[in-house]
Every structure is written in C-alpha cells, then in structure tokens.
Structure 1
Amino acid sequence: MAEQIEFDQAHLTLQEITKALENGRFVHVRRQLQDMEPEDIALLLEASPRKIREILWQLTDHEDYGEILDELNEEVKDALVSKMPPEKLAEATEGMDTDDLAYVLRSLPDKLSREVLAQMDAADRLRVETALSYPEDTAGGLMNTDVITIRSDVDIDVVLRYLRIKGELPEATDSLYVVDGSSTLMGHLTLSTLLTSQPDVQVSDVMENADDAISVDTKDSDVASLFERRNWISAPVVDENQYLVGRITIDDVVDVIREDAEHSMMSLAGMDDDEDTFAPVIKSARKRSVWLGANVLAALAAASVSNLFEATLDQMAAIAVLMTIVPSMGGVAGNQTVALVIRGLALGQIGDSNKKQLLYKEAAIGFLNGVLWALIIGGIVILWKGSWLLGSIISAAMLTNLLVAGIAGVTLPIMLKKMKIDPALAGGMALTTVTDVVGLSAFLGLATLLIK
C-alpha cells in the first residue's frame, strides 16, 4: 500500500513538473527537485518520457547524481551517463559506497569506466578496482569495503574511545569485526554487546564467532537466502584465506531480491528486467521480436502435428471443435508445476537429493488430475456429442497429457538450469510446446486409429 502511494505521488509530481516545464518555469522545477530525496528523483526519471527525463537530469543538483544513479535501472542509467563527461561522472560518484560505485561503473563502456577511475584519487580507485575484480552476481561484487575492524586484545573502553575519535559509523552497521594482525576474521562484536559491557572487559571475552562469514564467491541469490533465513542486517565477506575483505548490508540484499523478482516477472514475457518503459520504439520492437520469433517456432511445431492428421479433421468436424481442450488443460497444469519448480530452484529447495521425489510427486498429481478431468471432460463430450468412442478418446488423451505435463514441468526447468538457460525465461514456452505437441498427437492419433 505504501509503495502504491509512492508511485501515485511520483506520477502526480511528474504531472506538475511537466506542466511547469511546458510553461517555462525551469527555476521552479529545479527548486522542487532540490526538495526531493534522490530515490524519489530516480523514480520520477524512470516515469518520465525521454525528452523530459533529459531536461530533469540537467536541472537536478549535481551533488545528488551519484545517489540517483545507484537507484536507477540499468537502461535508464546508461542513457544518462553516456552523455556525461568522465570528470563530471567521477565528481558525481564521489563519496558513494564502494559497492554502489562498482555497480554504476560496471554498466559503462570499458573506455569510459577507465576514464572515470583515472579521475579518482589512489585510495578510492584501489577500493573500487578491488570490488570490480569480483563477478557482479557474487558476494564480492555485492560487498562494501567500508568496514570497521578492531583487535581482540583491547578493552571495550578502548573501542569506545576509538569510535568517538572516528566520529561516525558506516550505514547499516550493527557489528564491529574482530581481526588479527593479518586481517584474518576472528569474530564480531555487536553494538548492543559493546554498549552493555563493562569498560574493562576485553573484546575477546565478549565477541561472537565468525559463523556468519560469507565466502567472496558466493552467489548473490544465495546471499539473499542467507539474509532472509537468518534475519541479518549485515554480514562479513571473507576470501579463501579467511581474510576480511568487506561486508554486505541488508539494503544491498533487498536490491538483489527486488531485481530477482523483476527478472522472473519480466522473463515470463521474454523481456529484459532493466528495459526502459520509455525506450525508443525500434529498440523495444527489436528486443521483443526475438521472443515472438521463438514463440512462432513453438506454434509451428504444434501446427505441424495438426497437419499430420488433416484427413481426420476433414472427416469429422467434432474433432476439430474439441482438439484445443487437451493441449490447453495440459498447458495450464504444466505451467503450475513449472512455477513451483522455478521457485524451488530460486530458493535452493531443489537439488540432486530430492528432485526424484519431486518428480514422483508431480507425476502422481498429474495422474490423479488426469483421471479426474478425463472423467469430467469425457462425460461432457458423451452427453454433448452422443458418442462414447469420442468421449473415451478425449479422456485417454487428457490423462496422457496431464501426466506428461507434470513430468515435463519438473524436468524442463532443471534441464534448462543445467544448460545455463534461465528457466523463468524459457521454461513456460518449452512446457507449452511439449503439452501442445503431446496433447494434439494423443487426441488426433487415437481419433485416426479408432474412428472410421
């Protein structure tokens, strides 16, 4: 509900700003943008047509550019930064967290990214290059190198005095990390423990073990699952030698969860989750035509099956009327299973140890539903068309297709994942093709053999 209010407010603000721009009230718009939070400006930019977006970007305070870029989806961000000189982009990203800056730089062309890095001071450049050295979809690519470390052999009072001298803590800090002289992670000290312990107590006596350490090469989806299950606010990241290299915070994990959800939703339609709502027509049409072409091939495969039984269809109009029922039921049942399996794969609930049990379960569900709906549809056809033979044929085809749909709904996503193909993107289409082909083959094949 709160999110809907934010979107409604963004569109109301967009209407007001568009009207002000049409009237030439640029100073008014600039002041209005200065009163907005960076994340709200990012939402406003994404909701704006391209021409208005470019004007708004020019009117936005340059000091907010970095935070706004971090909130934008990739396609909108790329369009904006492509027109910024490297020195301006480096200036805009000054003060950004390492992980956020790495996210922005990854999407830039290599030449522009190197030019931006060249504009930074040596310390910032080293931190960002370290983050960029890890794949984007791993804990290393997700982490922030801004961490506070302490030694285990000091008193709580020393730690408190150190923090007072430092003056501020990184965002989402709930623990201080305890390391030895070689930066090996030994454990962590929560802020609540720090504040409630006696000043003369040593850190080693009250610190907790480093059980929450995440390996630097852990997949970001696995990181999100860990945070969700264990209710973490932050977690340390270590390399293969257990050296502390950074930390991951809950705000970054929320972004991962949101991006995964958007990816799954958009993949169902064969679209890019970062696609700009107001992208150029030709660019959008070109992207979508690829998916449409794949669906045409799948439809032709199903049509070719019907073509094999053209003579049967010419002889009996009732078969032509009923032939869409079986593949349609199989498609619905199979897509239910595909959705379940894709979710299980994403949450790490399905693996080599349990996929056979899942296959047996879904096959059994397909069989039971097949029997139920074979009897129902068969009975309807017998009453409607007055033919026991036609009712028996569609019943047998229905049972066959629903059983196949259950089996295919499990096996196809798992096979696609092993082939490094996104099941959310291709699973539904592959399943529909299978159920269309099997359903039509079973129904029309039996009709050809039995009806004379």
Structure 2
Amino acid sequence: MTDTENAATDAPERPIRDEDGAIDTALVEQVSQALLLSDLTTLRAVVADMHEADLGALLEALDPEERTRLISLLGRDFDFTALTEVDDSVREEILETLSPETVAEGVRDLDTDDAVYILEDLDEADKQEVLDRLTPAERIVLQQGLDYPEGSAGRRMQSEILAVPAFWTVGQTIDHLRQTDDLPERFFEILVADPAHHFVGSVPLDRLLRTRRPVEIATLVDEDSRSVKATDDIEDVARLFQRYNLIAVPVVDQASRLVGVVTIDDIVDVIEEAADDDVKQLGGVNADEELSDPVREIARSRFSWLFVNLFTSFLAAAVMSLFEAQLSQVVALAILAPVVASQGGNAATQTMTVAVRALATQELGGWNLRRFVTREMIVGLINGVGFALITGLVAALWFGSQGLGVVIAIAMVVNLLAAAMAGVAIPVLLDRFGIDPAVASGTFVTTVTDVVGFFSFLGVAAIWLAHA
C-alpha cells in the first residue's frame, strides 16, 4: 500500500456538513487538493459512499473547472444522480463541458425520472447525441419521457414499474418478487394490470404479506386506487399526493395503459420548487434565478420589474402633485402622507400573499372566494379603525392639531379597506386573465395602496383646510 493510500485509509473521517447544514469547508479543501494532485485514491475514499444530495452540495462548492475534473477522474464511480441535486445553472454548466459519451454512460444506470431530468436541460443536438449512444431499449424509454410536455407527470415518472395480472396468487407474486433481478429500486405497492396492460388497481405490500399464498391478487386489489395521466400537470399531481397522503401513484397514457409511476421523493421536489417560485415571484424575482447565476443575468432579469415599479411610483407621485398647494400650506401633510401609504401597502401584501397561495393550491373559488373577501374586508376594517385611533392620536399630539388627527384617521380606515380589496381582487383578476398572480400582483397592489393612500389622506386634508 502506498503512502497516499495509507493517508487516505488512516485519516479520520471528516464531517460532510457543518452545524448549519452547509457542506464542510475542510472537506471541500480536501477534495480540491486531491483534484490538484490527481489523487484518485483520496477522491474515491471521500466521495464513493457520499449521498447524492451531499455530492451535489460538494459540486456547487467547488470551482467550475474542478467540477468537471472530479467527474472525469471518478469516471463510473461518479453518481450522476448528484446532478439532479444542484442548481439548474450549475447542472447546465457541467453538462456543457462533458462529452456525450460521458453523459450517456452516466445516465445509463439512473432511474428514468432522474435521467430525463438531466437530459431535458441539453439542447436538441446534444440531447440526440447522448441518446444515440444508448442501446435502443434505453433510448426508447428515455425518449418517451422527454416527449411528454415540460412540467407534466410524464417528465417526472420513472418507467421502472412492477405490475402483475389479477389472476396470480399471492404466492406467485411473492415468488416473482424474489426471483426477478430488474425490480424497481424501491416500491411500496404492487400494481395490477389486465392482459392489455390497462391499470386495474394496486395492492399495498403490507396487505400482500399479511395474506396467505393461495389467495388471488384480484381479491386484494384496491379498486379505488388513484392514477394520473402522463400529460397531467405535475403540480396538480402534487396536490393529489397532499390531499390523499399518497406515497406513489401510477401513471397511465391516454388509453389507460400503465407507463410509469410517480413517487413521493419527486413530489417533495415539486412542492419545494413551486413554493420557491412563488416566494421569488412575489418579490419580483425571476423564478429561475439561482444563487450561482452570474451578476449580469441577475441584474438584467430584475431590471424589468424595477422599471415597472418606477413607473407606478411616478403615478403615485403624480397624485401627490395634485395637492401641491395643500402640501406647501401644511408641512405636516408631507410628513404623514407616506405613513398612510406604507401601512396600506403592508396590509395589502399580507392579504395578497394569502390570496396568491390559495390560488396556487386551488383553494380560492366559488363560495370560498366570497367568504375570503368578506373576511379580509372585516379584518381591514378592524385594523383600519385600530390604526386610525393610534395614528390620529399621535398626529394630534405631534402637531398639536385635532383636525389633522381626524384627517389621518379617516384616511387610514379608507386605505386599509382598499388594501384588503386590492389584495384579493388583483391576484384573482390576474389569474382569470391567465397571468401568474405571483409575478404581477405585488407591483399593482402597491400602486393601488399608494394612490388610494395619498388621494384619501390629501383629499380629506384639502376639505379640512378649506373649512378650517
């Protein structure tokens, strides 16, 4: 054994992640040093048994050129599943530097859902080059997944399924499981199909193992088993999982023939991605933006919404200019006007956030919409009255004017009611017109509360000054 091998063997095992859950810095440095020295023994010792999620985090922590070198040095020892765990921009950057032969070899042993997830990032020419280097059977399975629409269940399903005929007995089924080598890596139920491979139902593994061997599978089938079509939107499938506490669901084609299965691990990723997109879009950030994106791309993607926000800010400023005489007459109005607008903006954002989330989960419609609007208007009124008393009292004491306190109190009630209405109405209207409410709601809601806030406060103030 060489000194390098002894060092790798005798070295204490390093922690993979620190207390905050980030990849350990010392581990990254160790891998970087091994890459610099082309120390394959150390690399294998460190990376070989690493979970794909940790390996993905390690790839993101390495420099771009080190990522490609790590994959090249490890060869077949590199788990390509790790590429499903990294940011999209990192994965695309890695795939651009790898040869079609390397990618084809890497995806060959993956589940179809992971292989499709990696290949869909390639342009058509590179994708075809990779597929051409696979066997016909492998190519057909992957091409089938790639042919389904982006964001569909067909893109997320794994084609490796376990299906048996209804006339088999429990004993035959168990023997089949023991004797078959190419079973899915993990499965939680036995799918049942007719001779034409149409989905009939499913049998949970616990029910199968509790039943005597001579019993026919047909008697154990749960005929209420749910299935989804390959063309169904994957977010709709995720809601099905949430609603019925599913672990896996079979996927069928338009003729109800079994073509795959979607499992809970993929659905967790879908739910996380959807929530991540909503949070980004509510802030006016591109849903595809990642921490690893270049500065130029981030600046360009954010510019458009900042420009829209600038335009709407000028609109609010134009409303204030209508009351230029009153503002020059009473300086306190200029000081207090932003308070009303800001409070309305915050209240509207609260309502808008709940409304957008409810729309995304399909909870806002029909009688539920009416109840939600009523609830938010009552909340707006209660908070409006509460803050009217607080701001009215503060303004009266601060500027020594009871009239000014009444003005801001009235404006606060009006603006918080407008905020409640805008927070619901704008996301719902955008959704009805086919515009993603998570993307566009924030700017329009803020504009409404600014305009209404300034107009109500300064308008009431103008009436008060006229009669003072």
- TM tier relative to shorter chain: over 0.9
- Indicate yes or no: 2:32 matched with 1:30: no
Q: What are the residue-to-residue correspondences of 1:52-451 with 2, within 5 Å?
A: 52-167=66-181, 169-451=183-465
CA deviation string 1:377-428 (max 9, x = no partner): 1122112212222112111111111001101111111222233333223222
CA deviation string 1:77-100 (max 9, x = no partner): 111111222222111111211122
Compared CA separation, residues 6 and 222, structure 1 to 2 (3 A): farther
Offset of 1:160 from its aligned partner?
Answer: 1.7
Offset of 1:274 from its aligned partner?
Answer: 4.0
- Please say if residues 11 and 44 of structure 1, whose CA atoms lie closer than 8 Å, have aligned partners that are also in contact: no
Offset of 1:60 from its aligned partner?
Answer: 4.5
Give me the whole-angstrom Cα distance separating, in 1, the residues matched to 2:414 and 2:144: 56
Offset of 1:186 from its aligned partner?
Answer: 1.0
- Please say if residues 46 and 276 of structure 1, whose CA atoms lie closer than 8 Å, have aligned partners that are also in contact: no
Offset of 1:15 from its aligned partner?
Answer: 4.3
Offset of 1:372 from its aligned partner?
Answer: 1.7
The alignment partner of 2:259 has SS state of strand
Gaps of 5+ in 2: 1-15
Give me the whole-angstrom Cα distance separating, in 1, the residues matched to 2:351 and 2:388: 19
Offset of 1:189 from its aligned partner?
Answer: 1.6
- Please say if residues 71 and 78 of structure 2, whose CA atoms lie closer than 8 Å, have aligned partners that are also in contact: no
The alignment partner of 1:235 has SS state of strand
TM-score (norm 1): 0.92
Offset of 1:112 from its aligned partner?
Answer: 1.3
Give me the whole-angstrom Cα distance separating, in 1, the residues matched to 2:109 and 2:385: 64
The more displaced of 235-244 and 4-13 is 4-13
Question: Runs of 4 or more off by more than 6 Å in structure 1?
Answer: none
Q: What are the residue-to-residue correspondences of 1:6-17 with 2, within 5 Å?
A: 7-17=21-31
1:41 maps to a residue whose letter is L
Offset of 1:52 from its aligned partner?
Answer: 4.5
Offset of 1:330 from its aligned partner?
Answer: 0.5
Compared CA separation, residues 210 and 146, structure 1 to 2 (3 A): farther
Compared CA separation, residues 428 and 3, structure 1 to 2 (3 A): farther
CA deviation string 1:33-84 (max 9, x = no partner): 3353332121122234445544444445444352122222211111111122
Compared CA separation, residues 103 and 11, structure 1 to 2 (3 A): same
- Please say if residues 50 and 279 of structure 1, whose CA atoms lie closer than 8 Å, have aligned partners that are also in contact: no
The alignment partner of 2:151 has SS state of coil
Compared CA separation, residues 205 and 62, structure 1 to 2 (3 A): same
- Please say if residues 99 and 141 of structure 1, whose CA atoms lie closer than 8 Å, have aligned partners that are also in contact: yes
1:30 maps to a residue whose letter is L
- Please say if residues 331 and 431 of structure 1, whose CA atoms lie closer than 8 Å, have aligned partners that are also in contact: yes
The alignment partner of 1:150 has SS state of strand
The alignment partner of 1:167 has SS state of coil
Compared CA separation, residues 21 and 245, structure 1 to 2 (3 A): closer
Give me the whole-angstrom Cα distance separating, in 2, the residues matched to 1:61 and 1:437: 61
Gaps of 5+ in 1: none
Give me the whole-angstrom Cα distance separating, in 1, the residues matched to 2:130 and 2:327: 67
Offset of 1:336 from its aligned partner?
Answer: 0.8
Give me the whole-angstrom Cα distance separating, in 1, the residues matched to 2:134 and 2:277: 33
Give me the whole-angstrom Cα distance separating, in 1, the residues matched to 2:465 and 2:70: 70
Give me the whole-angstrom Cα distance separating, in 2, the residues matched to 1:218 and 1:340: 26
1:320 maps to a residue whose letter is A
The more displaced of 265-274 and 345-354 is 265-274
- Please say if residues 249 and 263 of structure 2, whose CA atoms lie closer than 8 Å, have aligned partners that are also in contact: yes
- Please say if residues 393 and 447 of structure 1, whose CA atoms lie closer than 8 Å, have aligned partners that are also in contact: yes
Compared CA separation, residues 171 and 210, structure 1 to 2 (3 A): farther
CA deviation string 1:327-347 (max 9, x = no partner): 111011111111111221222
Identical aligned residues as a percent: 35
2:39 maps to a residue whose letter is V
Give me the whole-angstrom Cα distance separating, in 2, the residues matched to 1:181 and 1:281: 57
2:8 aligns with: none
Offset of 1:451 from its aligned partner?
Answer: 1.2
Give me the whole-angstrom Cα distance separating, in 2, the residues matched to 1:226 and 1:3: 34
Give me the whole-angstrom Cα distance separating, in 2, the residues matched to 1:48 and 1:277: 14
CA deviation string 1:108-131 (max 9, x = no partner): 112211222222221122212221
